[in-house]
Amino acid sequence: MKKIFFSLLGVLCAHIAWAQKDSLAFDEGNNYIYYRVIDKPALSADTLYNRAWNFAVKFNPAVKPGKGKADNTLNTSSKLIVYSGISLVRKEGGEIAYTINIQTKDQKYRYRISNFIFTPYQRNRFGNMVPVPGIEIPLEKLAAKYGKKETENYLNQIGTFCVNTSARLKQAIDKQPLTPKTEAVKKVSTENW
């Protein structure tokens, strides 16, 4: 019975991991992108924008989010480390730089995670894994430089990251309370008592 349970559990985990790669799509320019549009009734564009800004600040405190070209748009960027090899002999394979773009309108917002750039890692003289200087490969051209198996492994990790980031953004926008109205503060005189 235990063997059957663990077999089914293994198949389920493999199916979930395989499905993560399918979350990435191609945009008009044939670049990988993770794109979603979410409806949020009863929330204004400014409220959604402020919540998205707070998410971006907390998501990567080292990089200040920037305003986008369009109204109520913000951009932030960061890096993700991807691993190569099997679970017992895993090592850092490289890092993926990416950009998150969030745009808000009344009662809905959209976001996309795109501009994936891969930088491979190599061991330095101290035995640490460090980025190889000067080599940056767009994710779309990764299969030509690396094997199909390694590329699918990286795509699965990126897909999992995008799904997790999407859940964090949704939680940040849903959980924050509405901005309370500021009332006039009453002044109290401490001289007369």
Domains of the chain with bracketed CATH: 23-175 (3.30.530.80)
Q: What average pLDDT is seen over the chain?
A: 82
The pLDDT of 36-49, averaged and rounded, is: 88
DSSP the chain: -HHHHHHHHHHHHHHHHHHHHTT-EE-TTS-EEEEEEEE-TT--HHHHHHHHHHHHHHH-TTS--EE-SSTTEEEEEEEEEEEES-GGG-EEEEEEEEEEEEEEETTEEEEEEEEEEEEEEEE-TTS-EEEPTT--EEGGGHHHHS-HHHHHHHHHHHHHHHHHHHHHHHHHHHHSPPPPPPPPPPP--SS--
pLDDT exceeds cutoff 80 at 150: yes
pTM passes above 0.85 = no
Any idea which of 12-16, 21-25, 152-156 has the lowest mean pLDDT? Answer: 12-16
Residues 57 and 27: their CA atoms lie apart, in Å, by 27
Q: How many CB atoms lie within 10 A of CB 6?
A: 10
pLDDT digits (tens, 9 = 90+) for 93-147: 999 999 999 999 988 999 999 999 999 999 999 989 999 999 999 999 988 888 8
Rounded to a whole number of angstroms, the distance between the first and last alpha carbons of the chain is: 79
